[in-house]
Structure 1
Amino acid sequence: MRMKMLILIAFTFVSVVIKARSESELLFQNDTVSSAAKPLLVPLTLIQEAASKGAVCLDGTLPGYHFHPGFGSGANSWLIQLEGGGWCNTIKSCVFRKTTRRGSSKFMEKQLAFTGILSNKAEENPDFFNWNRVKVRYCDGASFSGDSQNKAADLQFRGQKIWQAAMEELLSKGMQKANQALLSGCSAGGLASIIHCDEFRTLFPRSTKVKCLSDAGLFLDAVDVSGVRTMRNLFGGVVNLQEVQKNLPKSCLNQLDPTSCFFPQNLVNHVETPLFLLNAAYDAWQVQESLVPPSADPHGSWHDCKYNHARCNSSQIQFFQDFRNQMLNEVKGSSGESQTGLFINSCFAHCQSERQDTWFADDSPLINRMPIAIAVGDWFFDRKIVKAIDCAYPCDKTCHNLVFKAGRSTVVDYQSSSGDDTSTMTMTYSRSTRLPYSAGLYMLSILLLINCS
Structure 2
Amino acid sequence: MASLLVLITLCLVAVGIEGTHNVTISVLETAISRGAVCLDGTPPAYAYSPGFGEGVDNWHVFLEGGAWCGSTAGCLNRSGTSLGSSAKLISINNGIQSFSGMLDDNSTFNPDFYNWHVFKIFYCDGSSFMSDIEDVDPKDNLTYRGLRIYDAMMDELLRIGMGNARNGLANTLPTSCTSKFSPTLCFFPENLLQDIQTPMFLIESAFDQYQLSSNVYPTNAKPPRWVNCTLDLQTFCNWTEIEIMRDFRYTFIDTLKRTITDSSSRRGYFVHSCYRHGHLEDPQGSTCSSLVGNVLADKTIPQAMGDWYYDRSGFQEMDMVNNLPRNCSTAVDEATFRKKCGT
Interval containing the TM-score (normalised by the shorter chain)? 0.7 to 0.9
For the 8 Å contact 2:207–2:325, the answer to whether it is kept is: no
Cα contact 2:100–2:281 (8 A) shared by 1:
yes
Whether 1:313 aligns to 2:238 is: yes
Structure 1 partner of 2:158: 171
1:378-417 alignment runs, 5 A limit? 378-393=307-322, 400=328, 414=330
Distance change >3 Å, CA 175–CA 87, structure 1 → 2? same
TM-score (norm 2): 0.83
In structure 2, what is the Cα distance between the partners aligned to 1:78 and 1:180? 10
Pairing of 1:22-61 with structure 2 (within 5 A): 38-61=19-42
- What does 1:294-305 align with in structure 2 at a 5 Å threshold? 294-298=219-223, 300-305=224-229
Q: Identity percentage over the alignment?
A: 34
Q: 1:330 to 1:36 in 2, by over 3 A?
A: farther
Q: Is the 8 A contact 1:367 1:390 kept in 2?
A: yes
Displacement of 1:324 after TM fit? Answer: 1.1
- How far, CA to CA, are the matches of 1:272 and 1:377 in structure 2? 20
> Equivalents in 1 of 2:192, 2:96: separation in Å?
33
Aligned position for 1:139: 124
Please state whether the residue corresponding to 1:161 is helix, strand or coil: helix
Whether the 8 Å CA contact 1:249–1:270 is kept in 2: the answer is yes
Equivalent of 2:191, from 259, 266, 275? 266
How far off its partner does 1:82 sit? 1.0
In the TM superposition, residue 35 of structure 1 has moved relative to its aligned partner by 6.0
Tell whether 2:145 aligns with 1:158: yes
In the TM superposition, what is the alpha-carbon distance from 1:381 to its structure 2 partner?
A: 1.4
Which structure is richer in relative contact order (CA contacts within 8 A, separation 6 or more)?
2
**Which of the two has greater strand per residue?**
1
In structure 1, what is the Cα distance between the partners aligned to 2:324 and 2:244? 17
Contact map agreement 1:76 1:180 (CA 8 A) in 2: no
CA distance in 2, matches of 1:35, 1:315: 46
Name the residue aligned to 1:123. Answer: 108
Report the Cα offset of residue 297 of structure 1. Answer: 3.4
1:371 matches 2:300: yes
Superposed displacement of residue 180, structure 1: 5.9
- Unmatched 5+ stretches in structure 2: 1-12, 338-343
2:204–2:272 CA contact under 8 A, matched in 1? yes
CA displacement at 1:94 relative to structure 2? 1.1
What does the per-residue CA deviation read over 1:265-294, in whole Å, with 9 as the maximum and x for residues that have no partner?
212112221121111100000111011455
Report the Cα distance in structure 2 between the residues aligned to 1:393 and 1:48, rounded to whole angstroms.
Answer: 48
1:100 aligns with 2:81: yes
* Structure 2 CA distance for aligned equivalents of residues 113 and 161 of structure 1: 26
- Cα distance in 2 for partners of 1:255, 1:76 equals 36
Residue 344 of structure 1 and its aligned partner are, at CA, apart by: 0.6
Q: Distance in 2 between matches of 1:65 and 1:113?
A: 12
CA RMSD of aligned residues (A): 2.8
The alpha carbon displacement at 1:415 in A equals 5.7
1:77/1:180 contact within 8 Å kept? no
User: Which position in structure 1 is the counterpart of 2:340?
Assistant: none
From the superposition, tell whether residues 36 and 144 of structure 1 become closer, same or farther in structure 2 (CA, over 3 Å). Answer: farther
Distance of 1:250 and 1:83 partners within structure 2: 25
Contact map agreement 1:66 1:136 (CA 8 A) in 2: yes
1:70: Cα distance to partner?
1.0
Q: Which moved more, 1:264-273 or 1:249-258?
A: 249-258
**Structure having the higher Rg:** 1
Amino acid at match of 2:114: F
Partner amino acid for 2:154? M
Distance 1:395 1:312, change over 3 A: closer
Q: Check if 1:340 corresponds to 2:326.
A: no
Distance 1:287 1:277 in 2: 19
- The 3-state SS of whatever aligns with 1:378 is helix
Instruction: Please give the alpha-carbon distance, in whole angstroms, between the structure 2 residues aligned to 1:120 and 1:393.
Output: 33
Q: Would the aligned equivalents of 2:275 and 2:325 in 1 still touch at CA under 8 Å?
A: no
**Residues 72, 180 of structure 1: CA spacing in aligned structure 2 closer, same or farther, 3 A cutoff?**
farther
State the match for 1:233 in structure 2.
none
TM-score, with length taken from structure 1? 0.63
Alpha-carbon distance in structure 2 between the residues aligned to 1:321 and 1:175: 43
Corresponding residue of 2:3 = none
Q: Distance in 2 between matches of 1:294 and 1:50?
A: 34
Equivalent residue for 1:224? none
* Residue type at the aligned position of 1:338: S
- Between the aligned partners of 1:54 and 1:150, the Cα distance in structure 2 is 10
In 1, the alpha carbon distance for the partners of 2:183 and 2:117 equals 35
- Cα deviation for residue 198 of structure 1 reads 2.5
* Residues in 2 aligned to 1:348 and 1:428: alpha-carbon distance in whole angstroms: 19
1:165-189 residue CA offsets vs partner (Å, 9 max, x unmatched): 11111111111111367xxxxxxxx
What letter is aligned with 1:49?
A: T
| CA 1:297–1:91: 2 relative to 1, 3 Å | closer
The structural deviation recorded for 1:319 is 1.7
Offset of residue 318 of structure 1: 2.2
In 2: Cα distance, 1:373 partner to 1:171 partner: 27
| CA–CA separation in structure 2 for the residues paired with 1:124 and 1:296 | 43
Alignment partners' CA distance in 2, 1:289 and 1:301: 13
Distance verdict in 2 for CA 1:303–1:162, change over 3 Å? closer
Change (3 A) 1:143 1:297: closer
